[in-house]
Amino acid sequence: MTGLSELYFNIDSGYLEGLVRGFKGGILKQNDYLNLVQCETLDDLKLHLQSTDYGNFLANEPSPLTVSVIDDKLKEKLVVEFQHIRNHAVEPLSTFLDYITYSYMIDNIILLITGTLHSRPITELIPKCHPLGSFEEMEAIHIAGTPAELYNAVLVDTPLAPFFVDCISEQDLDEMNIEIIRNTLYKAYLEDFHVYCSELGGATAEVMCEILAFEADRRAFIITINSFGTELTKDDRAKLYPRCGKLHPDGLAALARADEYEQVRAVAEFYAEYKQLFDGAGNNPGDKTLEDKFFEHEVKLNVNAFMQQFHFGVFYSYVKLKEQEVRNIVWIAECVAQRHRAKIDSYIPIL
Amino acid sequence: MAGAYKSPKASTTYLRAQTTMKSRLAGAQKGHSLLKKKADALTLRFRAILKKIIETKVLMGEVMKEAAFSAAQAKFVIGDFNHVVLQNVTKAQTKVRSKKDNVAGVTLPVFEHYGDGSDSYELAGLARGGQQVSKIKKNYAKAVELLVELASLQTSFITLDEVIKITNRRVNAIEYVIIPRIERTLQYIITELDEREREEFFRLKKVQGKKKAIKAIAEIKRLELKALGVDVDNPADMLKDTHEDEDLLF
């Protein structure tokens, strides 16, 4: 019964939900962004960030500041916060938080596979991995020469093994383009996460399934649009669509047959929220791109997750919102550093 | 030297030397004008290249700015994709060929780029930011093209600079060293010849004067003899002469 789970939620996760809501309160508001946009140099930016929740995170950096340093430090803060939460979590929250890290793990594995295939030393690759997605067997990747060996030796022990099993066979690993492997893994991950959230039930299922459904549909749209004019066949493309969204099964079938942007738009017409997103987007300068509209919708869904209490969705939303904030700040920093202020307002406002 | 008698052979040596010098002077002057023409053609080309370099550099600044901005846009949508690109590199997709171009006798290297192999990043950004990825690919390809062009312009600039300096050095050497030297030698030969001619003239005049004096003395002697009744008009007649010659005893 949903009522009961809410009553018992605070025993295990009350402290963490409070913590996450506190972190969420520190997310930059519109005012902060207005201040940042008016900066002339990166040092100005650092000054403004000091008055926010970030505080003196850049205090020990030698000048001159570069955008990549700011980027690294921002990410570091998020990683520290997330790891603190993860360390204090118990089941089922700990599994939920692990699911959140799997997407970064997928990226790391793909990076390590390509690096190993081209014989790069492992010490070069490890620092480039996303810290949230590290796993114990990372150091052992270099013993394998081909992706198939890699799978048999190393990846079977990682939490990502089931994603490989479902959809990729050994020969596929060797032949497939690395991007296709990445997208196949991500599809398996999304579907698995969706199933897990539905099993959790209650407010978590409500909030998370909606967010994950949107993510699945968004990937389907973007993969379709980006695959026009490439060597990706329609069948291959259809295999990359995650099936946990609203588009399944009719929308996905229609997308698999699409040949150009107008047809994709026609498919979106059948679904009210997606119709809105496609309407506002365009490729002319001054228009928002489709990706921007997707980002905005995602941010809206994530902010709405905080409206309900006693569910795990807040943790996922917090991570995603913080990531978006990091992207916004880095975008503004790049515009300031390159003195190209024309599009400095193209960040996605969060609160 | 003033009183020395010069054999006719020596003067022809001088004359030959003079004609040699004259032909050398003509040769030097011809060479000088040819080299000057070469230097002028090279300088013209040099100026044109300089103008082109300035234009290309300005354009380069803009293109790089555009490309860096599109990189920032792509990073906004995709996240950090540096390492994805770096790790997937197999071989160069754009390569550079060098050809030779000839300007007024100077070979200049010219670089041109050509694409080799298919695009190995076709599927990059499939799930996120594919549009940004294709835009950034285009922008950086343009930047690379410009860079190659700039490189060939700059190499020809440097090579031309060297050659122009060398050619100008030669032109100046001929103009200020060789030709004056030849001219001075020619002058010297001419003055020598003049002097010798004057010497000859002077000698002739002196000899003439001497001869005249001798002739005058002989004339006076003759008149004296004539006055004594000696027949000087006719040459002496041996048969008429009856002087007893003493016998020659050996």
**Cβ pair B80:A71 closer than 8 A:** yes
**Cβ pair B76:A340 closer than 8 A:** no
pLDDT of residue B191: 92
Identify whether the C-beta of residue B35 lies closer than 8 Å to the C-beta of residue B167: yes
**Cβ pair B83:A331 closer than 8 A:** no
Tell me: cis bond preceding A349? Omega within 30 of 0 counts.
no
Pick the closest to residue A63 from A77, A46, A38 (CA basis): A46
Structure tokens at B161: 């600079």
Chain B partners of A334 at a C-beta cutoff of 8 Å?
69, 72, 75
pLDDT of residue A142: 65
**Cβ pair A128:B122 closer than 8 A:** no
pLDDT of residue A3: 57
**Cβ pair A338:B72 closer than 8 A:** yes
Segment holding B235, helix H or strand E: none
pLDDT of residue A273: 86
Which residue does chain B place closest to A120, by CA atoms? B87
pLDDT of residue A1: 46
* CA A84/CA B184 separation, integer angstroms: 97
CA angle B66, B69, B71 (to 5 degrees): 110
**Cβ pair A327:B131 closer than 8 A:** no
Bigger pLDDT: B103 or A174?
B103
* CA A156/CA A154 separation, integer angstroms: 6
**Cβ pair A291:B129 closer than 8 A:** yes
Which is it for strands B94-103 and B106-115: parallel, antiparallel or unpaired? antiparallel
Scored b (16 or more CB within 10 A) or e, A53-79 reads ebeebbeeeeeebebeebbebbbebbe
**Cβ pair A114:B88 closer than 8 A:** yes
Confidence band (pLDDT; 50, 70, 90) for A144? Answer: low
Other CB atoms within 10 A of residue B146 CB? 18
**Cβ pair B69:A338 closer than 8 A:** yes
Of B75, B79, B124, the CB nearest to A179: B124
Chain A partners of B65 at a C-beta cutoff of 8 Å?
338, 340
Interval B167-207: pLDDT, tens = 999 999 999 999 999 999 999 999 999 999 999 999 999 99
**Cβ pair A327:B84 closer than 8 A:** no
Chain A partners of B76 at a C-beta cutoff of 8 Å?
327, 330-331, 346
From the CA of A331, how many Å to the nearest CA of chain B? 6
* CA A56/CA B60 separation, integer angstroms: 38
Strand ranges in chain B using DSSP code E only, listed in sequence order: 94-103, 106-115
Amino acid (one-letter) located at B32: H
**Cβ pair B130:A180 closer than 8 A:** no
Size of interface A-B (CB pairs under 8 A): 79
Chain B partners of A215 at a C-beta cutoff of 8 Å?
none
From the CA of A82, how many Å to the nearest CA of chain B? 19
Of A120, A179, A289, the CB nearest to B87: A120
Q: Positive or negative, the Cα torsion across A170, A176, A182, A188? A: negative
3-state helix, strand, coil in chain B (%, to 5): 70, 10, 20
**Cβ pair B87:A114 closer than 8 A:** yes
* CA B173/CA A199 separation, integer angstroms: 96
Which residue does chain A place closest to B74, by CA atoms? A331
- Which of A226, A231, A348 is the mutation pick for testing B, counting most B CBs within 10 A? A226
* CA B245/CA A174 separation, integer angstroms: 147
SS3 (DSSP) at B98: strand
* CA B169/CA B38 separation, integer angstroms: 12
For chain B, give the percent of residues with pLDDT over 70: 91
* CA B103/CA A290 separation, integer angstroms: 53
Chain A partners of B130 at a C-beta cutoff of 8 Å?
222, 225-226
Q: Look at the block and give the residue holding tokens 């040459």.
A: B235
Interval A113-123: pLDDT, tens = 787 777 777 77
Amino acid (one-letter) located at A311: H
pLDDT of residue B2: 47
Interval B36-63: pLDDT, tens = 999 999 999 999 999 999 999 999 999 9
Distance of CA A178 to the CA centre of its chain: 19
Identify whether the C-beta of residue B32 lies closer than 8 Å to the C-beta of residue B179: yes
Bigger pLDDT: A242 or B234?
A242
Widest distance between CA atoms in chain B: 155
**Cβ pair A219:B127 closer than 8 A:** yes
Chain B partners of A177 at a C-beta cutoff of 8 Å?
123
Spell out the long-range contacts of B48-53 with Cβ–Cβ below 8 A and sequence spacing 24 or more: B49/B153, B49/B156, B49/B157, B49/B160, B50/B157, B52/B153, B53/B150, B53/B153, B53/B154, B53/B157
Mean pLDDT check: name the lowest of A150-164, B59-73, B167-181: A150-164
Other CB atoms within 10 A of residue B212 CB? 10
Chain B partners of A175 at a C-beta cutoff of 8 Å?
none
* Residue B142 in this model has a pLDDT that exceeds 50: yes
Identify whether the C-beta of residue A192 lies closer than 8 Å to the C-beta of residue A95: no
From the CA of B76, how many Å to the nearest CA of chain A? 6
**Cβ pair A226:B90 closer than 8 A:** no
Q: DSSP secondary-structure letter at A138?
A: G
pLDDT of residue B3: 46
- Helix crossing, A2-25 with A202-226: angle to 10°? 60
Amino acid (one-letter) located at B14: Y
Identify whether the C-beta of residue B25 lies closer than 8 Å to the C-beta of residue B186: yes
Mean pLDDT, residues A226-248 taken together: 87
Q: How far apart are the first and last CA of chain B?
A: 50
- Which of B62, B66, B83 is the mutation pick for testing A, counting most A CBs within 10 A? B83
Identify whether the C-beta of residue A222 lies closer than 8 Å to the C-beta of residue A245: no
Q: Is B125 an 8 Å CB contact of chain A?
A: yes
Q: What is the mean pLDDT of chain B?
A: 86
Structure tokens at B44: 């013209």
Identify whether the C-beta of residue B143 lies closer than 8 Å to the C-beta of residue B4: no
Which residue does chain B place closest to A328, by CA atoms? B76
Of A225, A230, A327, the CB nearest to B76: A327
Distance of CA A193 to the CA centre of its chain: 13
For chain A, give the percent of residues with pLDDT over 70: 93
Number of helices (H) and strands (E) in chain A: give both, helices first. Answer: 17, 0
**Cβ pair A230:B80 closer than 8 A:** no
Distance of CA B148 to the CA centre of its chain: 34
Amino acid (one-letter) located at A252: L
Identify whether the C-beta of residue A68 lies closer than 8 Å to the C-beta of residue A58: no
* Residue A145 in this model has a pLDDT that exceeds 70: no
Q: Is the ipTM of this complex over 0.85?
A: no
Of B65, B73, B130, the CB nearest to A226: B130
Mean pLDDT, residues A319-343 taken together: 90
